[in-house]
Structure 1
């Protein structure tokens, strides 16, 4: 059981004596930051166009459904065909 625990701590970046491996001290935070930047960029690549398209569709609907000044229901004239 102890060997399994020692293997886990070794693969987690520690030596069998409990000291952190020097490469892991610098490599892990850098890799983590690089992954955070990459995936946040992917999220923005999806979120920003979705937000822009939502605003555009909302404005189009607002313009199409907004009553015009000459389109008031009590001011309509009889339409002739």
Structure 2
């Protein structure tokens, strides 16, 4: 393999590694954010139901 080909291969490998590393961090962050938003929305709904029951 030529020196230019070797450096190109190393560059592509490093880029792929860091792209996967970014996805490894981003995907769980999106999932946890979605879970937090859903929990927050459910707590709002439960809170409004509780307030209605107390008023009745």
Give the TM-score normalised by structure 1: 0.56
Give the TM-score normalised by structure 2: 0.78
Greater RCO, CA 8 A, separation 6+? 1
CA RMSD of aligned residues (A): 2.2
Structure (1/2) with the larger helix percentage: 2
User: Could you tell me which residue of structure 2 aligns to residue 23 of structure 1?
Assistant: 2
1:52 is aligned, of 22, 31, 36, to 31
1:58 and 1:34 map into 2 onto residues whose CA distance is 36
**Residue 76 (structure 1) aligned with residue 55 (structure 2):** yes
**Structure 2 portions without partners, runs of 5+:** none
